[in-house]
Structure 1
């Protein structure tokens, strides 16, 4: 057993920058590197890709991220844990193994799966959002339970150097190596709670080092274009020191840590994960030196007997069209164009939305006090068929010669939207599994 380990977070979401993870793997003297790249929206998109091609469904940046990291992982003997497997961790692991072989590296890759519980749904499960049976949301296409540490722990026991998971809870990606290295068990709820808080602080990567903290004037951070991602030195007692690689941009302070601590936390006294019910209320920070903070506190009690499940369903087809107007009476011409489109689409599509970007697209119903010199008109509609969705953009494009003067820069696009609702499932119905490559 080790007394302490170093874990870094190289990505906080699917579209995160690639370079910070490479810097961490190269210079932070890590034992583990985590790439947290999965969210409800992300896995819905992944499921859609898998529906189109059964070999896909993993993160679209998987190959680029792994290829850039492989030399550093091997050179510095770092274990990589990531949920970039998304809807298809087995295909992702096969792809990573092939990338490693092509680069001349003989490493063990593990896929953690078992989160796909689609076959177990009856449709009568009640959603947390609507309080209605999930079958009323629309045709169900996917169901992924939030797994905990179990699959990752087994992969670590089998000495996998790269572990690719599907839908695993974000803090669990970090908690698993702590449990593995320190010998913590599921009975050690207080330690699991501390580890979960540490994982929660790390999981959004650049948010901890000032990215999302950054604001105009009041909360500036240095060199944000070179924002560094965080790593933590964690002890077997559940304390930690957070830092970032010297020379990288950003700021790591008690203020940035406190904002991240409360990010997406509904109840800080009982933060539910598959592994533990964590208590954030006793957490404290201390600034040790510039960009180095200490962490103490936190705790936990036993985990719930249920697991959260994200259920994807076919919601609607979205049709969109955009066009710009500029100069004198730009807003009035955009409004006239919108009126034309609404009349053209009446009875052909449902739930039309009109946005005057630059005027009131964010705060609906509120109009700016100034007369803008340029307006981007956006028309969007929920549609029942792909044909109806395409019609929205086609009508906007027709404004070039059939609408108010001076319109330009048309864009049109349509897509199927996979919605996400959540249900709860008895954890005994979910069976985490691994496959080694």
Structure 2
């Protein structure tokens, strides 16, 4: 039974740009039909892209687009390996035009680049959604954008129409893999078991090296060979949707039953009902079997009819985020860092400030500072290398800026020995999720010239 290979060369925006070439070379060496996906779009990433597009209408797509594609675009075109990605972010058309220019710059024949449209909700409807989500008190003038998580059907349609590259915006992550599988095998859109299996193949791929040992690695507990050169995942799917996952070679990393199980469960709120735009996947009876070195089979996945609604993220202006940091080292460093926090709290009583003592308490801290107040003097006494972080969110830019000025003043206003001040002021987008009836989202694709 011939299999279809799908490789993933990115798991988030900012992922390594040298991952794609081993993936493509491995798929070419194995022969047969294949596709390459890049997953680069998280909620935070889309918010940043929307901010970039507001500043420059030509921006708003994946900043590393050319660095990701340049090493493999020629090989993919030559070997008829289509590329599918959500690196269009807030500006899929802009990304598509940049890909065409990149091909010209590389001396390659012009690829057929398709853009999937429909995830972005029109402004009028988006403002209405914002009011529904947050109530009448919200100022809908703060609305920036709304994007629905769309599915795999238009990706498949674009590939069947001859696309070499399919650029998406807010498509669901596993749909990037389901789309080419649909196009290759010709499955019906209500073939729930096959759709669910290919969806979970996409779920295993979507976070890149997470499934091949990256996020898994924990020295002395879960050792991973040659992590510095970790390979990225490749799945083989057959016509029944059965999955075998491996990785690019020759690279580091590992694919075994443990890495696969961790990734299968990643971000699943309910293993019996993983909701996607295409299908509801059920992995409660899935079996994970080691077939050989870096070869794992996943079987027993079932599917149920897709949800009637689509998750939609609504972004609106969220004021300003101010962050300031200063370091204290040597004897009584912890006590001096805490005194600095007390100074800031007294100087700025009108602000709600989060304080972290990096090196003492930060990851496990809370915005209200309750855990920090419970840190005992003995814990502070043993700390000799502490960085104080102070942060606040505020609607007014000048109010947020006042925190940064006070952090900077700690240089000479005490406590003793503070140094290495760093400050940052950024505009924010807030997000709220909403379920939108499916028939309100019209998805299509078009080729870009």
TM-score (norm 2): 0.92
Deviation, 1:134, is 8.5
Q: What SS does structure 2 have at the residue aligned with 1:398?
A: helix
Q: Which residue does 1:381 correspond to in 2?
A: 392
Q: What SS does structure 2 have at the residue aligned with 1:351?
A: coil
The counterpart of 1:108, out of the listed 109, 112, 119, is: 112
**Cα RMSD for the two superposed structures:** 1.7
The answer as to whether partners of 1:389 and 1:415 remain within 8 angstroms in 2 is no
Q: Which residue does 2:358 correspond to in 1?
A: 357
Deviation, 1:125, is 5.7
Cα separation, 1, equivalents of 2:150 and 2:24: 26
Q: How does 1:256-267 map to 2 (within 5 A)?
A: 256-267=259-270
Q: Which residue does 1:136 correspond to in 2?
A: 138
Please list the CA deviations of residues 143-193 of structure 1 after superposition, one character each: whole Å capped at 9, or x if unmatched. 000010122122112211111100000111100111111110112111111
Deviation, 1:386, is 2.1
Compared CA separation, residues 210 and 126, structure 1 to 2 (3 A):
farther
Q: Which residue does 2:13 correspond to in 1?
A: 14
Q: Which residue does 1:429 correspond to in 2?
A: 440
Q: What SS does structure 2 have at the residue aligned with 1:354?
A: strand
Q: Which residue does 1:367 correspond to in 2?
A: 375
Q: Which residue does 2:349 correspond to in 1?
A: 346
Gaps of 5+ in 1: none
The answer as to whether partners of 1:123 and 1:135 remain within 8 angstroms in 2 is no
Please list the CA deviations of residues 318-367 of structure 1 after superposition, one character each: whole Å capped at 9, or x if unmatched. 111111111111111112222222222223xx321111111111222153
Compared CA separation, residues 163 and 135, structure 1 to 2 (3 A):
farther
The answer as to whether partners of 1:222 and 1:250 remain within 8 angstroms in 2 is yes
Cα separation, 1, equivalents of 2:286 and 2:137: 41
Cα separation, 1, equivalents of 2:251 and 2:93: 35
Deviation, 1:126, is 4.5
The answer as to whether partners of 2:311 and 2:434 remain within 8 angstroms in 1 is yes
The answer as to whether partners of 1:67 and 1:99 remain within 8 angstroms in 2 is yes
Compared CA separation, residues 222 and 137, structure 1 to 2 (3 A):
farther
Cα separation, 1, equivalents of 2:389 and 2:271: 39
Q: What SS does structure 1 have at the residue aligned with 2:9?
A: strand
Compared CA separation, residues 216 and 126, structure 1 to 2 (3 A):
farther
Q: Comparing 205-214 with 28-37, which one deviates more in the overlay?
A: 28-37
Cα separation, 2, equivalents of 1:135 and 1:252: 50
Q: What SS does structure 2 have at the residue aligned with 1:136?
A: coil
The answer as to whether partners of 1:90 and 1:113 remain within 8 angstroms in 2 is no
Q: Which residue does 2:62 correspond to in 1?
A: 59
Cα separation, 1, equivalents of 2:177 and 2:435: 23
Residue 319, structure 1, aligned to residue 327, structure 2: no
The answer as to whether partners of 1:3 and 1:182 remain within 8 angstroms in 2 is no
Compared CA separation, residues 367 and 116, structure 1 to 2 (3 A):
same
TM-score (norm 1): 0.94
Please list the CA deviations of residues 87-133 of structure 1 after superposition, one character each: whole Å capped at 9, or x if unmatched. 11011101111111221222111111211104223146654xxxx43
Q: Which residue does 2:410 correspond to in 1?
A: 399
Cα separation, 2, equivalents of 1:134 and 1:6: 50
Cα separation, 1, equivalents of 2:211 and 2:146: 31
Deviation, 1:21, is 1.3
Cα separation, 2, equivalents of 1:223 and 1:387: 48
Q: What SS does structure 2 have at the residue aligned with 1:318?
A: strand
Cα separation, 2, equivalents of 1:107 and 1:421: 37
Residue 222, structure 1, aligned to residue 230, structure 2: no
Deviation, 1:135, is 6.7
Q: Comparing 22-31 with 427-436, which one deviates more in the overlay?
A: 22-31
The counterpart of 2:101, out of the listed 93, 98, 103, is: 98
Alignment size in residue pairs: 430
Deviation, 1:204, is 1.0
Compared CA separation, residues 231 and 137, structure 1 to 2 (3 A):
farther
The answer as to whether partners of 2:318 and 2:395 remain within 8 angstroms in 1 is no
The answer as to whether partners of 2:213 and 2:259 remain within 8 angstroms in 1 is yes
The answer as to whether partners of 1:124 and 1:134 remain within 8 angstroms in 2 is no
Residue 69, structure 1, aligned to residue 72, structure 2: yes
Deviation, 1:414, is 0.4
Q: Which residue does 1:46 correspond to in 2?
A: 49
Q: Which residue does 1:87 correspond to in 2?
A: 90
Q: What SS does structure 1 have at the residue aligned with 2:61?
A: coil
Deviation, 1:391, is 2.1
Cα separation, 1, equivalents of 2:171 and 2:36: 16
Q: What SS does structure 2 have at the residue aligned with 1:28?
A: helix
Q: What SS does structure 2 have at the residue aligned with 1:91?
A: helix
Please list the CA deviations of residues 381-411 of structure 1 after superposition, one character each: whole Å capped at 9, or x if unmatched. 1122222222222211111122222111010
The answer as to whether partners of 2:174 and 2:202 remain within 8 angstroms in 1 is yes
The answer as to whether partners of 1:399 and 1:407 remain within 8 angstroms in 2 is yes
Deviation, 1:71, is 2.4
Residue 255, structure 1, aligned to residue 258, structure 2: yes
